[in-house]
Structure 1
């Protein structure tokens, strides 16, 4: 093994300082922790808030569009739904036209919780955006959207 090639430490430092994936992951984790703390007293986390919000539609959506919006596969979505359905915040109902189709519906309790969580999200989100240069969240969202569609 003494002849194995090594990566110079300078390369490690370059990756640390320039890797978009690393910086995006770090930012995502920091944001997740922030919103988890903000929602804790409601008994939900940031991912559950996003899922509940994604279900707030005029008609209950099917699982696939929700999974696509949240960038997860259906198996992961099913696992994330379990605590919300156990808690009575979401129910899985058959489709009207195709009874085999699963639709996701916020219950009255889910709607009430979402109504409590939304002002918290608004306040936290506004505070995060003030930390961006010129409060320019739109530019960051546009850049992240470009990256996420390129994959």
Structure 2
């Protein structure tokens, strides 16, 4: 896959940020409304295309500093090579970044397209800043 050929809205946003065309707050405000792919652990004995569990276990890894980092991608295609190296994470779900940020634990980082040029890593403080931009949820 051409690493600098954006194919999704989030990839176009990442490219704008990479090129310096956006300030960090504008980037964050636009990001929370976009859709990302979150790899989740496969169920054992699954029916193809059917998730039997009601709780998805996301892919969380430790970074070099020992921080826990939630792994996401701009599309399922961008995830393929990465998740091939992590046994058990062949499934996933597409959802809004805001949904993910609302459900993240404290002191967790977030990676979009880890290791790729069209990627971005958020440390825990940056994730907290993203969470502060979320509108109130309707009850």
TM interval, shorter chain, is: under 0.3
Q: Which has the higher helix share?
A: 1
Q: Which has the higher strand share?
A: 2
Higher RCO (CA 8 Å, separation ≥ 6 residues): 2
Task: Give the TM-score normalised by the residue count of structure 1.
Answer: 0.24
Which structure is larger by alpha-carbon Rg, 1 or 2? 1
Task: Give the TM-score normalised by the residue count of structure 2.
Answer: 0.26
